[in-house]
Structure 1
Amino acid sequence: MSVELMVWDEPVPIDRDQARATYLAVKRTDPVTGETPDVAKELPGEVTLYPGHVLVTMDLDTMDEMSAQVFTIARAHGLICYDPQRDLVHNVAPLGVYEGMQLHTGDGMVVHDPDLGLVHDVLATLSPQNPFVALVNFGHHFLQVSPGFELEYKEGTLIRAMVPELAEVRQAFNEYATGDRSFLSRHAWA
């Protein structure tokens, strides 16, 4: 079984609905031949060119490692990347304040310097198949959540708090990513 990612340029960040619509529209067209763009030469996996878009196909077994490479290369070229399997779009911006911050999911996705929209959307994917989402600043601190909305924060000592709804989880993750520590005083930590 294979999986796909699509990479292209957008002048501003787009949402998942726009990314999905673009991906589906492009897939209905025919691939093109000709000069290979620089970004396509750097991408791992099997590359198929469409007008203004690059489709990357990879094996399911290598998806996690290769996807991380594709996300990194797309960002370096100022391009967005759409993951149709997870229905997630990786925009170039806006980013959090911690350079090198990583987004980790329980289903194997790792993204360096994730955009805030991606973090927001990934949090809705918590499930038995994706048992956690974490933002990690290695060597400093992290914020993690699991299904049932148990937040864990570690900066020296690990503390936990239960929150009642996804909206509060999203707010805490956004605050954490942007350097705002309001979530620490808003919840009962143990």
Structure 2
Amino acid sequence: MVWDEPVPISRDEARAAYLAAKKGRPVQGELPQVAKELPGLVTVFPGHVLVTMDPESMDEMSAQVFAIARAHGLVCYDPQRDLVHNVGPLGVYQGMQLHTGDGMIVHDPDLGLVHDVLATLSAQNPFAALVTFGHHFIQVSPAEPAEPAEPTAPAGYEVEYKEGHMVRTLMPRLDDVRQAFHEYATGERAFLTRHDWSS
């Protein structure tokens, strides 16, 4: 679902707006411009446009919806992944891409989306990466626990960074990973000195 928000909103706010809009009655008549550009089956609610798509083409069509929403300065909420795509704030690398293990690819992701995606790491979404093609990237996956005592809790996070050559480290907490990804996206490299890396 896409709509206009004056400032970036949280996942909880986006989910609430989505659920509230769906309780309304669809609007008949002339479609707003963004609705004409969106792929899939489009339903217009007051102030909101809902896009329904086939599960088989969801990843490809979602990427189109995110791009069209961004071009119109609109928020986009993905109810399948429970993620919100805000217009900003963005990282410093134009063209940076966010890739996830469950098939999502987002060009120029907002920093809030990157933060939220990292909390979704699981068997269904086994990695997340920020890639500035031709320059550098950072990626993460949950580390396998040494003892399969609690399969839902990872034994930390395996993080790889490449700029020239690849280095790796184990970060114990999700907050460490989020901080490293935020620093990477904003052009900082403090995460390289804060953790011990090996080739």
In the superposition, the TM-score normalised over structure 1's length comes to 0.96
Query: Residues of 1 paired with 2:192 and 2:54: CA distance?
Result: 41
Q: Find the counterpart in structure 2 of residue 136 from structure 1.
A: 131
- The percentage of aligned residue pairs carrying the same residue is 77
Q: 2:57 aligns with which of 48, 55, 62?
A: 62
Q: Find the counterpart in structure 1 of residue 78 from structure 2.
A: 83
Query: SS of the residue aligned with 1:125?
Result: coil
Q: How far 1:30 sits from its partner (Å)?
A: 1.0
Query: SS of the residue aligned with 1:22?
Result: helix
Q: Find the counterpart in structure 2 of residue 3 from structure 1.
A: none
Query: SS of the residue aligned with 2:53?
Result: strand
Query: Residues of 2 paired with 1:61 and 1:186: CA distance?
Result: 42
Deviations 1:26-72 (A, max 9, x none): 11111111211111111111100001100000000000000000000
Q: Find the counterpart in structure 1 of residue 11 from structure 2.
A: 16
Which of the pair has the greater relative contact order for Cα pairs under 8 Å at 6+ separation? 1
Question: Which residue identity does 1:23 align to in structure 2?
Answer: Y
Q: 2:164 aligns with which of 139, 156, 163?
A: 156
Q: Which runs of 5+ in 2 are unaligned?
A: 144-156
Query: Residues of 1 paired with 2:125 and 2:118: CA distance?
Result: 10
Q: 2:188 aligns with which of 169, 177, 180?
A: 180
Query: Residues of 1 paired with 2:58 and 2:165: CA distance?
Result: 34
Q: 2:179 aligns with which of 171, 178, 188?
A: 171
Q: Find the counterpart in structure 2 of residue 34 from structure 1.
A: 29
Query: SS of the residue aligned with 1:150?
Result: strand
Query: Residues of 2 paired with 1:96 and 1:48: CA distance?
Result: 32
Q: 1:92 aligns with which of 79, 87, 109?
A: 87
| Segments ≥4 residues shifted beyond 2 Å | none
Query: Residues of 1 paired with 2:135 and 2:167: CA distance?
Result: 15
Q: How far 1:85 sits from its partner (Å)?
A: 0.9
Query: Residues of 2 paired with 1:33 and 1:151: CA distance?
Result: 49
Query: Residues of 2 paired with 1:154 and 1:65: CA distance?
Result: 27
Query: SS of the residue aligned with 2:119?
Result: helix
Is 2:62 aligned against 1:48?
A: no
Query: SS of the residue aligned with 1:151?
Result: strand
In the superposition, the TM-score normalised over structure 2's length comes to 0.92
Q: Which runs of 5+ in 1 are unaligned?
A: 1-5
Deviations 1:114-154 (A, max 9, x none): 00000000000000100000000001000000012100001
Question: Which residue identity does 2:159 align to in structure 1?
Answer: L
How many equivalent residue pairs?
Answer: 185
Query: Residues of 2 paired with 1:100 and 1:40: CA distance?
Result: 25
**Which has the larger Rg?**
2
Q: 1:113 aligns with which of 108, 114, 125?
A: 108
Query: SS of the residue aligned with 2:103?
Result: coil
